[in-house]
Amino acid sequence: MSRIVKNKELVNTRLATNYGGWMYCEKCGENIGYLCYSTYDKIELDYKCNCGNHGSVLLDFEDSKVGKSSTSELVMVKTRFCCPKDNEPLITILDKKVTNYDLKITCKSCESIYQKSK
């Protein structure tokens, strides 16, 4: 079932499909991560690519819930950050490709908002 995007702001960043898949730095073309299509309600990502480009991603949906902040840490399974409550896979950020980032992501299933920075 496809979802209706409400807010979508991509700065210097390309997304493989409408609201998920591989994320690419628009300046050097490198992939910097992978956003899972169906498990998040909202994402806010700011990053600096190794090439020096500063990029960001903001996405949410018509049916997104407000969510509630969680102090728990995302769990890393292989390269993917997953929700610690229900193990939903949310996002991969390729650590070696970015010098720093700030991530805020809401799990659709439990409505928890997680933050992660490098």
The contact set with Zn ion (CB under 5 A) reads: 25, 27-28, 49, 51, 53, 83, 85-86, 107, 109-110
In the bound complex, what is the minimum distance in angstroms from residue 109's beta carbon to Zn ion?
5
What are the residues facing 41 on neighbouring strands?
none
Residue/partner pairs of 13-20 with CB below 8 Å, 24 or more apart: 13/55, 13/56, 13/57, 15/57, 19/59, 19/61
In angstroms, the CA 5 to CA 37 distance is 12
In the bound complex, what is the minimum distance in angstroms from residue 99's beta carbon to Zn ion?
10
Between residues 39 and 59, which has the closer beta carbon with respect to Zn ion?
A: 39
In the bound complex, what is the minimum distance in angstroms from residue 40's beta carbon to Zn ion?
9
Between residues 10 and 110, which has the closer beta carbon with respect to Zn ion?
A: 110
- Would you say how long the chain is, in residues? 118
Between residues 8 and 14, which has the closer beta carbon with respect to Zn ion?
A: 14
